[in-house]
């Protein structure tokens, strides 16, 4: 059965904060030479660095919702 989840604003806010913190740490680890050296900056990888933690946070929230019995 397909259902649409209404995610509260506070959960989205916490997800964004988590993505900013985790994403920035991962960006520094993965793109160090591009930021502070001579390597080329990879924009696609940088965007995914922030999208993945947010997606995992939201997925974790949804997967821990109580299931409704039909």
> What is the total count of domains within the chain?
1
Domain containing 22: what range? 9-63
Does residue 70 belong to any structural domain of this protein? no
Does residue 68 belong to any structural domain of this protein? no
Does residue 49 belong to any structural domain of this protein? yes
Does residue 41 belong to any structural domain of this protein? yes
Give the pLDDT of the chain (70 residues) as one tens digit per residue: 345 668 899 999 999 999 999 999 999 999 999 999 999 999 999 999 999 999 999 999 999 988 766 5
Does residue 46 belong to any structural domain of this protein? yes
- Residue given tokens 């922030």 in the structure block: 50
pTM over 0.85? The answer is no
């Amino acid at each position: 059965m397909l259902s649409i989840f209404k995610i509260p604003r506070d959960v989205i806010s916490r997800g964004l904060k988590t993505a900013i913190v985790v994403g920035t740490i991962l960006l520094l680890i993965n793109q160090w030479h591009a930021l502070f050296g001579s390597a080329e900056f990879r924009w696609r990888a940088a965007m995914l660095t922030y999208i993945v933690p947010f997606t995992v946070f939201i997925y974790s929230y949804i997967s821990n919702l109580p299931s409704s019995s039909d």
